[in-house]
A and B are shown apart, each in its own frame.
Chain A
Amino acid sequence: PTVDCLDLCQMLTAEPVFQASKYGSLWPLPQKVQISEVSFKLSSASFRIVDAKASSAGPSCSLLQSAYRRYYEYMFGSAKKQWGSKNNRRSDPSDLTELQVWITSPDSECDGYPSVTSDESCEYLLFLVHVMFYRSLETFSQLVSEDEYGAKSINATIINDFPRFQHRGILLDSSRHFLPIKVILSNLETMAMNKINVFHWHIVDEQSFPYLSRTFPQLSEQGAYHPYTHVYTPADVKMVIEFARLRGIRVVPEFDTPGHTQSWGKGQKDLLTPCYSGSKPSGSFGPVNPILNTTYDFMAKFFTEISTVFPDGYIHLGGDEVDFTCWKSNPDIQKFMEQQHFGEDYSKLESFYIQKLLDIVASTKKGYLVWQEVFDNGVKLKPDTVVHVWIGGRSDKEMSNVTAAGYTTILSAPWYLDYISYGQDWQKYYKVEPLNFEGTDEQKKLVIGGEACLWGEYVDATNLTPRLWPRASAVAERLWSAKNVTDIDDAFNRLSLHRCRMVERGIPAEPLFSSYCLHEYKGV
């Protein structure tokens, strides 16, 4: 007897029953879809993904070529499985034999990194396919269906698609628990399946400092859980960035200061503020010490390294949850407060620090994201700063304030996926409307997207993937699809299939409700 059965048995027939959506398993739903009844067969022997003649990308575009192979394998299984069918089967007239990919913009961006301004829109008709970026390959693979005998087919379809928001992110926290590279990569793969385009790498925090810095190797030597096994070497970081690039995903690193920095202090002497107990240092440390020049020298060197290691145009600088008690206890800081005429207002000291940090980072030609407290405390921000709203309760008010002040913003408050509860909580994430706040149209345009956050207190490689997916898929559709895509039943039907597709592709995405997948998870 399961407790929810108490109500369910009252309405057995009303149990959420899976029904096919007219959009099949498309997720997130494209902006415009027309699926006709006309169906074409797909055969692994004859089907090819090719560059259209007019495409600005050619065979030298390794990004697309590897994507073609990846999606071919998703659609037909790995090439290994196909050895048996390696024949010269003549293609039938009803076969679909080619997907032409046409990159229409003059610059295919093949060798570049996806950026905030990358155009992810695409439009395609079957047979004649225009693609402006590679999102559409995912969509195409989702249109392929399989009948009982394993035969693949696809309906004639016209899709015109583009994302509603340009910043569609997922935050993973590799400080509270170390995440092996393999887990990060397989989640990047899954992000691509969900058209998520930003990996927000909350790489360090209080608990550990796994980032191996070239300039300050002692940070991870002293601050990581283990100096060899629990670190991200420059090679690891490069691998993550490249793996993400090949999937059209930006990697935005976060180095959160001045709070959340206990692990930094282990490898960098005098960086953190010594706390006092009465007139003596207590031996414990607080946030970054904002009154020393050495702090800023360190930050300048450190962020110079970061700005070269991470190619993205943005760095996340954190700035959240600064605890003032340690600063208050420290006589040198008290003196400094007096000199600067800050009175008793320690948020002014925080602003002082952040201001200097922002200037340092701005000099590296990077843009920055900051958590909402930085804005709340009135720090002077560059106009292109992205304010990251995370505090729940009145996040609509905050969105309203941030955009009224003219800053761009991303929303995370309703999407803290580390908070788990019993039942179908994906619906809660799905029902969020990011623009649901008071403001002008101009203000709404400043909302560039959102992020699902999976903080790491209770998450490591053992449970990360099923906890993230398909719950984050709900956020992915909210951020990609049109505002009016809100039919929760249709979403359930499509998401059920989408989740099974992820399972079939080897991703342990957890179930929505009692049900089955044709191909269950084999990784046990």
Chain B
Amino acid sequence: MSVVTSGRYTFPNYNLVFFIFLQLGLHSVEGVWPLPQSITSSPERYPLNPQAFYFTYGSQSAAQEGCSVLDEAFKRYFSLIFPDYSSGYGFLRFSVDKPFTVQVSVGRNDCDSYPDEDSSEQYTLSVSAGQAYLKAETVWGALRGLETFSQLVYQEDFGSYYVNKTEIEDFPRFQFRGILLDTSRHYLPVQAILKTLDAMAFSKFNVFHWHIVDDPSFPYQSRTFPDLSAKGAFHPMTHIYTQLDVRRVISYARMRGIRVLPEFDSPGHTQSWGKGQSDLLTPCYSGSTPSGTFGPVNPILPSTYKFMATLFKEVSSVFPDSYIHLGGDEVNFSCWKSNPDVRAFMLKMGFGADFTKLEAYYMENIVNLTAALNRTSIVWQDVFDYHERIPKDTVLHIWKGVPASYEAELRAITKAGYRVLLAAPWYINHISYGQDWRNYYTVQPLNFSGTEEQKKLVIGGEVCMWGEYVDATNLTPRLWPRASAAAERLWSDEKQTSDVDKAFPRLKDFRCELLRYFSFSDNAHGIPITHHRTLFYEVCLTYTDASVSLRLQAGYPGRASLCRTLQTRVPRCLIITDHVTFLSI
């Protein structure tokens, strides 16, 4: 027996090859996740043939060929809809089908823009014989519709594809549906971020909240302050995001209708900043001498604000989104308290012994800096809790507590007239045994007492994957499909999706679809092939009376895919023994 990594056969005599397609289970037309606002479908179905399948622009469409976002999406979704075909393994057809065209029309040509806070994602999709019409106001809505269409297609015996007659009208319940990844506690290779962006698009998430720096490391390579990552990253060469990396993430996200919201959290959570920027952090004192350790950003020095102004100017030129996340959470006052200069400043400013006033003073300055850069600030709820003078267009981000406490916070913040984003129930880095997706699914974001006006101030929610225990080794299985539960809560109508048991079989199917997507999108996008995408060959020596014959059996990832495994084998190949070659590609 041998295990080899390349296909070398020295056997003299073999005949191949078995390709066996297996179709299992029945496709459910309600297989779209998250559930569209309105969907009607009939048993009438139409075969799709990849050689006669086209995406076109409607004649009335404001965007036409050359629209980067849609041209790219057509390519991408073609491979996702016909994985066998695009992966280049003999696709077998038994009949010549009529052509099928998906005609896409958008009301605005926003092909070269970025999705933003008020981009419409509404679309209508109508599938009938030979034709599907996808209409949307924006290209971002068209992307959502393409995703839905791809989820409507299913495969049957011998690899044939079908789509049922369907009418869909769809739009998101909340405009902000985010996922936070933390690249400071562990560095996430760019590839891991891109893969997450793919999966986000499958669940119709539209904001990637990039918690890019924090106490443990500073991987963002700043043009203006290169020392920040040179000294603050885990490794100055391998564990950083170059400007090119960041641009790549932003453009990859844009192509999928996803905003990239950067977070540069201060004044707390900044230990790694201090390594490359001297005098930025507050020196802590032990008695009357500096202890050698440092606390939060030093709020009393003009140099601090000069630095921040320059940094945020850079950030606002690198990240096109109109929002910047400023953090502002969990500031520990003990270091400030220990420092005599800080205490003198408190006295001078008339803050007494109330360090929250000092913190408020700092945050106000930072928020004003970003306002001057024409950016909307998002800050963690802490800033609201201790501070009343924040600009009205600031968005508060709720992260603390059990339902009772975040509901109270929702009430208080919206009552004060601020927009708010809910993350508290979706701290998905907290794991436990069993089907915890049910908890994420049954959240009711608007279940607090308040007026209609107040409820409108809830702009959405966010799934947070903090990085203490997460890196590229476990990110994907820990995030999916658990985050998809939140995705449906944030996109779909709450009344139609209140039954968690009804969601279970749909989510199970969707997970299998995700596996299929991952396996094929890897290939489609030139991403290194992962363990999902495996070819199995089994070489069987069969001893018969006079001769030894060798069969090469091959299984390959058909559309009837991963949950149903990639291997196909004939079980009667039993007399195998001496030579089994195991290949992974």
Asked if B528 and A233 make an inter-chain contact with CB atoms under 8 angstroms apart, the answer reads no
Interface of A is mostly: loop
Asked if A466 and B574 make an inter-chain contact with CB atoms under 8 angstroms apart, the answer reads no
Residue of B nearest to A1 (CB): B329
A residues 448-476 touching B (CB-CB < 8 Å): 458, 461-463, 465-467
Question: Once the chains are docked, how many angstroms separate the CA of A228 from the CA of B538?
Answer: 13
Question: Once the chains are docked, how many angstroms separate the CA of A414 from the CA of B432?
Answer: 17
B residues 465-484 touching A (CB-CB < 8 Å): 466-478
Q: A182-B534, A511-B469 are in contact. Are A5 and B330 (CB under 8 A)?
A: yes
B residues 181-228 touching A (CB-CB < 8 Å): 182, 185-187, 189, 191-192, 195, 215-217
Binds A, one of B53-61, B169-177, B233-241, B343-351: B233-241
Is B38 located at the chain interface by the 8 A CB criterion? no
Question: Once the chains are docked, how many angstroms separate the CA of A466 from the CA of B474?
Answer: 6
A234 CB contact (under 8 Å) in B468, B474, B565, B576: B576
Is A2 located at the chain interface by the 8 A CB criterion? yes
Is B454 located at the chain interface by the 8 A CB criterion? no
B566-582 vs A, CB cutoff 8 Å, 1 = contact: the mask equals 11111101101100101
Residue of A nearest to B472 (CB): A521
Binds A, one of B39-47, B62-70, B126-134, B423-431: B423-431
Question: Once the chains are docked, how many angstroms separate the CA of A226 from the CA of B332?
Answer: 57
Residue of B nearest to A239 (CB): B580
Q: A214-B574, A235-B538, A420-B432 are in contact. Are A182 and B584 (CB under 8 A)?
A: yes
B584 neighbours in A (Cβ, 8 Å): 182
Asked if B189 and A524 make an inter-chain contact with CB atoms under 8 angstroms apart, the answer reads yes
Question: Once the chains are docked, how many angstroms separate the CA of A394 from the CA of B435?
Answer: 27
Interface core residue of B216, B429, B477, B580 (most chain A CB under 10 Å): B477
Asked if A235 and B431 make an inter-chain contact with CB atoms under 8 angstroms apart, the answer reads no
Is A38 located at the chain interface by the 8 A CB criterion? no
Question: Once the chains are docked, how many angstroms separate the CA of A235 from the CA of B536?
Answer: 13
Asked if B568 and A2 make an inter-chain contact with CB atoms under 8 angstroms apart, the answer reads no
Residue of B nearest to A235 (CB): B576
Asked if B472 and A226 make an inter-chain contact with CB atoms under 8 angstroms apart, the answer reads no
Asked if B565 and A509 make an inter-chain contact with CB atoms under 8 angstroms apart, the answer reads no
Asked if B571 and A520 make an inter-chain contact with CB atoms under 8 angstroms apart, the answer reads no
A514 neighbours in B (Cβ, 8 Å): 185-186, 216, 467-468
Asked if A229 and B468 make an inter-chain contact with CB atoms under 8 angstroms apart, the answer reads no
Asked if B268 and A9 make an inter-chain contact with CB atoms under 8 angstroms apart, the answer reads yes
B128-146 vs A, CB cutoff 8 Å, 1 = contact: the mask equals 0000000000000000000
A419 CB to nearest chain B CB (Å): 5
A208-245 vs B, CB cutoff 8 Å, 1 = contact: the mask equals 00001010010011000011111101110011001100
Residue of A nearest to B433 (CB): A419
Asked if B238 and A511 make an inter-chain contact with CB atoms under 8 angstroms apart, the answer reads no
B238 neighbours in A (Cβ, 8 Å): 518, 520
Asked if A1 and B565 make an inter-chain contact with CB atoms under 8 angstroms apart, the answer reads no
A9 CB contact (under 8 Å) in B330, B478, B530, B534: B330
Residue of B nearest to A416 (CB): B433
Asked if B515 and A233 make an inter-chain contact with CB atoms under 8 angstroms apart, the answer reads no
B residues 498-529 touching A (CB-CB < 8 Å): 515, 528
Is B531 located at the chain interface by the 8 A CB criterion? yes
B473 neighbours in A (Cβ, 8 Å): 465-466, 503, 508-511, 521
B268 neighbours in A (Cβ, 8 Å): 9
Chain A positions near chain B (C-beta within 8 angstroms): 1-6, 9-10, 12-13, 178, 180-183, 185, 212, 214, 217, 220-221, 226-231, 233-235, 238-239, 242-243, 418-424, 458, 461-463, 465-467, 503, 508-516, 518, 520-524
Chain B positions near chain A (C-beta within 8 angstroms): 1, 3, 20, 22, 24, 182, 185-187, 189, 191-192, 195, 215-217, 234-235, 238-239, 268-269, 271, 293, 329-330, 332, 334, 380, 382, 399-400, 427, 429-434, 464, 466-478, 515, 528, 530-532, 534, 536, 538, 540, 555, 564-571, 573-574, 576-577, 580, 582, 584
